[in-house]
């Protein structure tokens, strides 16, 4: 959080409150700019972290078969409206040459990548590309399902509408049978 200008966020929040017709000096709002600045520092901390770093934790294990961590919850902020979108990420890869990473590192990469002003597509492809670059696996398949508050509480107002994005890399780009198997595991309760 060292690179975040908390004072600037506080000033900006005060200005927004004034601009919408609120009184930022009334008791209930006095600490709001400070709270929001700390919240933004947390929600955007991924801007100051490199998710690729997590994949430097690797183990040598002779497993050139599927690894899937599914139902990883995440919260992100739509870069168009700065309102949340949230859902679940499913991350699958097929290791090569005995290079496997810690399971929690897949979830950490999802969290860090999500904690930026984002597009769902970009979160999906960033995770897939980072795994390809760092672990050099046979293939990667990342699937994300999310609900966007900018489509729920404003604008088109369609609560319940879900967006699915999927990115395949390596052999999973062409191996439809393997992709179908991964999707069936994702759907399993």
Ligand X SMILES: Nc1nc2c(ncn2[C@@H]2O[C@H](COP(=O)(O)OP(=O)(O)OP(=O)(O)O)[C@@H](O)[C@H]2O)c(=O)[nH]1
Sites of contact with ligand X (CB under 6 A) = 78, 80, 119-121, 148, 150-151, 155-156
Locus of tokens 């770093």: 53
The greatest distance separating any two alpha carbons of the chain, rounded to the nearest whole angstrom, comes to 63
Taking the complex as a whole, the smallest distance from the CB of residue 83 to ligand X amounts, in Å, to: 9
C-alpha count within 13 angstroms, C-beta hemisphere, residue 11: 4
Question: What's the chain's Rg over C-alpha atoms?
Answer: 20
Residues designated catalytic: 78-81, 120, 148, 150
Interaction of residue 150 with Zn ion, rule CB under 5 A? yes
Residue 78 annotated in ligand binding: yes
Residue 63 annotated in ligand binding: no
Taking the complex as a whole, the smallest distance from the CB of residue 155 to ligand X amounts, in Å, to: 3
Distance CA 163, CA 64 (A): 31
Q: Choose the stretch contacting Zn ion; rule: CB under 5 A; options: 37-45, 48-56, 68-76, 150-158.
A: 150-158
Angle at 171 between CA 165 and CA 173, to 5 degrees: 35
Residue 81 annotated in ligand binding: yes
Binding positions are 78, 81, 150
Could you list the residues known to form a binding site for Zn(2+), using ranges.
Answer: 78, 81, 150
């Amino acid at each position: 959080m060292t690179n975040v200008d908390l004072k600037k966020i506080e000033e900006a929040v005060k200005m927004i409150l004034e601009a919408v017709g609120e009184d930022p000096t009334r008791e209930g709002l006095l600490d709001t700019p400070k709270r929001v600045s700390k919240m933004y520092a947390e929600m955007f901390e991924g801007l100051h972290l490199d998710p690729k770093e997590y994949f430097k934790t690797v183990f040598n294990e002779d497993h050139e078969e599927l690894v899937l961590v599914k139902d990883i919850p995440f919260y992100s902020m739509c870069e168009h409206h700065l309102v949340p979108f949230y859902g679940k990420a499913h991350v699958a890869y097929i290791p090569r040459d005995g290079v496997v990473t810690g399971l929690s590192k897949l979830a950490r990469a999802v969290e860090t990548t999500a904690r930026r002003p984002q597009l769902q597509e970009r979160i999906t492809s960033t995770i897939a590309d980072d795994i390809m670059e760092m672990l050099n696996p046979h293939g990667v398949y990342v699937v994300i399902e999310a609900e966007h508050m900018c489509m729920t509480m404003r604008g088109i107002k369609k609560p319940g509408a879900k967006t699915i994005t999927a990115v395949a890399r390596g052999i999973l780009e062409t191996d439809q049978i393997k992709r179908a198997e991964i999707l069936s595991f994702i759907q399993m309760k």
